[in-house]
Structure 1
Amino acid sequence: MIQTRDTQYFEHLLDKHRLKKTAPRLRVLSMMSSRNTATSQPDLENLMHDIDRVTLYRILSAFEEKGIIHKVFDLNGTANYALCSSNCTEHHHHDEHLHFNCVQCKNVYCLNDMNLPAINLPAGFEPQGFTIYANGLCPKCSKKAVKK
């Protein structure tokens, strides 16, 4: 098997987070990195028939706990997962970016490059993170709507 730069990166990522380099873990990382949207466990199950539901659940749980992926909810309340930035750790996720839910195709996008407003909480509140959602049409669905 030829090792790609991605495979080497994923192996390094698993080493960094003290996780065993197993074929299912490497496949999940590869699948998630190939997508431009957050992905639910049921969608991953449909794409990866050779990994059973329990194994996939355990992989996603371990990845979230270690700061490799973060969870974001879609319009139906379903958990979706996306790769974290390289500065996320086991103790703190840095997923404070805009999560965009497309109302047409139902995809969830992590918009990492958006400038977000400062959040000033009242005295006594200690934030440990925050999530900001926006709803609307993604570029692909916007183009389809204009053509109609």
Structure 2
Amino acid sequence: MLEKKLAGRDIKPTTMRLLVLKKLVETGAAISLTDLEAKFERADKATLYRTLKTFEDKKLIHSIDDGTGAVKYALCEEGCECEPQDQHIHFHCVKCGETYCLTGSKIPQTHIPSGFRAASASMVYKGTCANCP
């Protein structure tokens, strides 16, 4: 299944790429490079970063700026091309620090003035997640 996910985005399935993808699938929330590095016993931060950038360039994952100062990464939905119309709302829990993709809630369309061209959009709600009382 992991190999198929990589092949679907034309990404060569190296051992590190498969391990990183497995961690992203298991996590179920967005994850920072530092938190991803902590999940590996031995991993080179530069290799992890290059893996994440490859995944992002091939639109397997997307990056999230949730206002915490650390960019987080999460898996894209099937068919996502990371265009503004594909992007969804995120939720950052102020108690546990997790950031979740709310894939069922797309970022609302906004009128962009003539001459402007949107490359991305971002909307982050902050509060307490269902796992935190």
TM above 0.5: yes
Q: Give the alignment partner of residue 32 of structure 1, picking from 20, 24, 39.
A: 24
Runs of 4+ in structure 1 deviating by more than 6 angstroms, as ranges, are none
Amino acid at match of 2:111: N
Structure 1 segment 21-100 matched on structure 2, within 5 A: 21-89=13-81, 92=83, 95-100=86-91
Which residues of structure 1 form unaligned runs of 5+? 1-8
Which residues of structure 2 form unaligned runs of 5+? none
Relative contact order, higher structure (CA 8 A, sep 6+):
2
Residue-pair matches, total: 133
**SS of the counterpart of 1:114?**
strand
- Alpha-carbon shift at residue 124 of structure 1 (Å): 2.4
- Paired with 1:140 and 1:17, the residues of 2 have a C-alpha distance of 32
Change (3 A) 1:47 1:61: same
Say which structure is richer in helix.
Answer: 1
- Paired with 2:106 and 2:62, the residues of 1 have a C-alpha distance of 19
> Bigger radius of gyration, 1 or 2?
1
- Tell me the equivalent position of 2:120: 129
Contact 1:41 1:57 in 2 (8 A): yes
- Alpha-carbon shift at residue 94 of structure 1 (Å): 6.2
RMSD of aligned residue pairs (Cα, Å)? 1.9
